[in-house]
Each structure stands twice: as C-alpha cells, then as structure tokens.
Amino acid sequence: MYGDGKHYFLVPAFFNTIHKLTEMGRDFHIVIRTFGYDIEDLMEEMNHFCHGTHFLYPDTKFNGEDGSVKRTISEDAWGKFTRTKESDTLHMKNGDVFHGAADIYEYILKVCSSRSGSVAIQDDWPWWAAHGEADTAGKIHIVPTHKEDEHHIFFDDNVELDRAHIIDTRDMKTGDPIPFDEAHDVYIVAVNTMEVIENQDYFLERIKVCEEKRASKDSS
C-alpha cells in the first residue's frame, strides 16, 4: 500500500519520535517486530523515511550521510524468529543463526551499537497460535534487567490491560519470564491505536512513563 503515496504502514507518531529523540540527543536504537508478512513493506517505508524519499518527510536524513545517524534496515539486518520447546532461534536473512536469549540479545545489540542501522524481525505466529495465544509463547522480548544504562521498551497494540498476551518478556541473564506487573509500563507498553494516530507525541509520553516507573522501582 505504501507505494501509492497515500497509505503507510508506520504511523507518523513513530517518525516523530525518531526526530524528537534525535533532537534531544538521546541514544536509542530501533527493532521493528511483526507477526505478519508485511516485514518487507515495513522495511521499505522505514528506508524511504531514512533516505528522505518518504512522501511525508522529504527532507529527512537518517542514512549516515551528512553527519546523520544511520537508521536504515539493510538486507542483512532482518530475520525471523522460530520458537520450539528446546530453544528460541533467530534466523537472519544473510544466513546467520542465533540460539537462546543471551546470544540473540548480544547479536541485536551488536548490530544496533555498531551504528549499522535498525533491525526488523518477523515473529513466530504459528507457535503463539498453537499455544492458545499465551503470553509465554508470544513475541520474545529479551531484557537485560541488570544493566542500568539500557532500557528496552516494546510497544504493541495487542497487549491487554491485565496481561501481556502477545509479548513474552524474558530476563536476559536467566531466561525466565518477567511478570506482567513488573514489565507493564516499564518494558512493555499497551499501545492505544486511536491515541497513537491522534497524538504525535504518544510514544514520547509513554517512554517518559516507562523511564519514570523504572527509576522509581530501581530506587525502592
């Protein structure tokens, strides 16, 4: 749909967040996640935005040129999760394969911290569906809770009021699930679709809530 110049896969609030965080001098990285088969469409739109060829943002540059930070998604920086009883595995388009929470986390961190761009991942919908859409079978979200200088936040509009539903938040060191009441509005955000469409600062406001809640938990 994006190619028609009228519709888009990524909401303007997402792009506004990138602009505002950059203006604020924040150090951040982007990992796009989806259960769907729209991952290449998402990558295409993200790359148009970064190259300044998006119809809404013709003057934007996040491609490493003219001193800009590179946030494009390369062919080597997208892949697919598969989940089994034995292991969680990330298969990258370039043939690289990573097993287990720690190795997957280290790989994603390496790509992001090397300033080589953003990452896109298709999650394992069949596994989630086969397990009754259980929280612990959803999109795996690996969190280094022991690292004060890193804060991983997963936004999804299928998170419910009383359970994660679609996100399986795990501690990076132990691999254990993080309870919903500990992860909610700290590591995961239940996105209100209407609000995110109407409010350009939606993600920025939710990031602030997550940071304040995490700081409060750390100080208690």
Token pair 């088969």 is at which residue?
37
pLDDT tens for 109-140 read 888 777 678 999 999 999 999 999 999 999 99
Helices then strands (H, E): number in the chain?
7, 9
Confidence band, pLDDT 50/70/90 cuts, at residue 173: confident
**Percent of the residues in the chain that have a pLDDT greater than 90, as a whole number:** 73
Contacts of 16 (CB under 8 A, 6+ apart): 200, 201, 203, 204
Q: Domain limits of the chain?
A: 7-219
Confidence band, pLDDT 50/70/90 cuts, at residue 3: low
CA distance 41 to 120: 11
In this predicted structure, the answer to whether residue 106 has a pLDDT above a threshold of 70 is yes
pTM for the structure as a whole: 0.93
CA distance 29 to 23: 14
Nearest to 69 by CA among 83, 86, 49: 49
pLDDT at 114: 72
In this predicted structure, the answer to whether residue 207 has a pLDDT above a threshold of 50 is yes
3-class DSSP state for residue 105? helix
pLDDT at 1: 45
